[in-house]
Structure 1
């Protein structure tokens, strides 16, 4: 009798395990079935060259960026520069660029669904991206062959209108030495989404937000810059001798002395809190593509190192996309739309995906602080950067020149947003080892924004 009972218990356990395994499989099928079916080993969906043999990728205006010929091979836009400029959004034929639509959204392109699987893959779907090929073209040209990243998005809707990463290459004419030539170093990497960089002075926007809320007499206080200041065991150097200045002037001058002193007064724990609140240590999901998380060394920073961290140096590393979203939150009263790259999918019957809701971030900055930041950034933009490069734009911006090592030119940054009612754009420009933030990255930003706002 006991033997029968033991066997019954064992059978029940096995049945429970079977039910659990079946439930797990069904769950994974619903959550990951599209990725399974669209994996490169599925020869029904990929040709002999390993290229996705179904689906068309278009920009927001309906310009075809990549599609499949009748013989099953993949082709791209007929302009080589556009192909390079949109490569990291569209993807390469072999799937080396994980953020490209051909890899990240293969299930949508093949028309996979849970009922029919990839039955309609021969026709494929039309996947419309939010980017504009023209904006990408202008951004890529403005970089002028230099490594870097350019991104612009609508902080109210989340649509990424421009996303360029360089170096790039022509997917129809892949360089034979791409793996060995330093010219193409990091070409498979989308620098907007998947990289982090030393931010330099663009990080002062975080230090400023903390100072506005944590230093009661901030607006009545002045700082005196003699070109450098010693904090603890560190000597923080500045780009100039700015003399006595109030907070608005310190921001316009991008004064390291003033902001390092603010950072030291605030302390590492406070800077850490505001950095995390700003979303700079988070990973955003851009239609399922996870961005890189920023990292900082606040936990072990000395007083002097905290001063360096407050001006965007020390061990600060920031993801360009996260910085762009933070700019959008300042512009939008504390919260911004989460960025997205997919506009819609249209199947072979002409049916489009349902209208999607705009996803918002949490509160990255308090509304009152965002309002004050906007005023200060607008004043700084007019004082430090002028209006000639940014006609018809209500610009709020911050430049950055990030030191990245002895013997290397600094990274050039320019980030901010527009307050134009019909152009609610936040942007980020990074030119690796480019030199001056305002002169180099600011010029790139001006060219791209001018096309977007003024059409020329």
Structure 2
């Protein structure tokens, strides 16, 4: 009898282990079954190590890539191929955030019931949110410079333009590529932001400093902290909060950062999504990283003006810009076009009143400093930035949005090793936005 009891207990334990293993398998099957099904050894969907089924289109129905026969057939236009390769992908799958790599399950038509089987055997077509012509305009506008351009609809979240340089022609790849070629800087890059970061410091100041309306600073071009310098490009004279942002006064903003404090600055980069990795239809952008030392005043001051160890992801910054445009809530980006028009919102990043103040200040930046005449027909709200980089020319930034229900576009431009803020990056943004608005106008007529 005792032997029978022991055997029964053993059988029950084995059954429990078997059941637990089955549960683990089912959970993994649901969660990562698409990875199993799209593994390179699956000859049903791969030919010579490359996807053999599926097509990729831009938002207007232009074909960007067609898989088959162990090759990928791209657009017939070389500049289109080079402008969209980071969104579409290269033949060998080196760009991990591209559609060819990240959306394999969608291209092959995977689902948990039938796997990758389809009656036609042709897989699925996917339509991206990007517009090839806008991407091509951005690619041309960057010229010989490396960097990135991102534009999205801050109401729907659809990414319209996503261009990164250096790039390559995926139809005729070189034997050796420049460092950074396979990185989509808009999604995967983290870059010193310079003065566009002052939009974050400004929000923290508005919501935490009671006497901001009466705050002034007299800038001589240099501010000393413990014997070390904070410098501006010139002496700005006496500035208030509004003009300090417009003139991008480092000295004034270094003082504001000290008043705000390290812990508050740290909380705001998190609150405003600059350390967030967003789920963009299954693709995740890089998290920004920031340090605000409470025991090193000079470093804290530099961090508050977008230098020190600040590393910004352009996509996350674009979401924060959308929060300023959208009365405090950002819109999560997406890369796959959907006719449903649904959008996912972030938590409240900043107060609605704060967003209103920032919009007013950003508009003042354009009219008082950057020159509205440089952006004919565009009522843009913007902030420029010049990020110092060791042993190189500065990186130029220009970021903002159009506050118009017909053209709800937020943009960010980074031109590497180039020069100063709006003088270099501003014209790139203008060319892209002019093309986008004219295209949108034509489509609506």
1:258 corresponding residue in structure 2? 252
Contact map agreement 1:198 1:316 (CA 8 A) in 2: yes
Deviation at 1:9, TM superposition (A): 2.6
Residues 263-292 of structure 1 show CA distances to partners (whole Å, capped at 9, x for unaligned) of 011111111111111110111111111111
Q: Is the CA contact (8 Å cut-off) linking 1:234 and 1:305 kept in structure 2? A: no
Which structure 2 residues correspond to residues 95-174 of structure 1 after superposition, within 5 A?
95-120=93-118, 122-174=121-173
Give the TM-score normalised by the residue count of structure 2. 0.95
| Alpha-carbon offset, residue 411 of structure 1 | 1.1
RMSD across aligned C-alpha pairs, in angstroms?
A: 1.6
Distance apart, 1:112 and its partner CA? 1.4
Q: Which runs of 5+ in 1 are unaligned?
A: 179-183, 345-353
Aligned residues: 439
Give 1:16's aligned residue: 16
Residues 125-274 of structure 1: matches in 2 within 5 Å?
125-178=124-177, 184-274=178-268
C-alpha offsets along residues 129-181 of structure 1, whole Å, 9 cap, x if unaligned? 00000000000011113211100001110000000011110111000122xxx
Q: Indicate the SS of the match to 2:356.
A: helix
Q: Does the aligned pair in 2 maintain the 1:145–1:167 contact within 8 Å?
A: no
Contact kept, 8 Å, 2:401 with 2:409, in 1: the verdict is yes
Aligned match of 2:83 in 82, 85, 96?
Answer: 85
Distance in 1 (CA, whole Å) between partners of 2:152 and 2:2 is: 70
Distance 2:141 2:41 in 1: 39
2:431 corresponds to 1:432? no
Q: Is the 8 Å Cα contact of residues 293 and 300 (structure 2) preserved in structure 1?
A: no
Instruction: Give the deviation of 1:55 after TM superposition.
Output: 0.3
The runs of 5 or more residues in structure 2 that have no matched partner are: none
Taking the TM superposition and a 5 Å limit, the aligned residue runs for 1:399-410 are: 399-405=384-390, 407-410=391-394
1:37 aligns with 37
Give the match for residue 65 of structure 1.
Answer: 64
Q: For 1:270-321, what per-residue CA distance to the aligned partner results, in whole angstroms no more than 9, with x for missing partners?
A: 1111111111011111111111111111246511111111100111111000
Is the partner of 1:152 in helix, strand or coil? Answer: strand
Give per-residue Cα distances to partners, 1:346-387, cap 9 Å, x unaligned.
xxxxxxxx8473111111111111111111111112111112
- Looking at structure 1, the residues matched to 295 and 169 of structure 2 have their Cα atoms a distance apart, in angstroms, of 44
Q: 2-side partners of 1:454 and 1:96: how far apart?
A: 34
CA distance in 1, matches of 2:294, 2:261: 12
Tell me the distance in 2 between the aligned counterparts of 1:401 and 1:445: 15
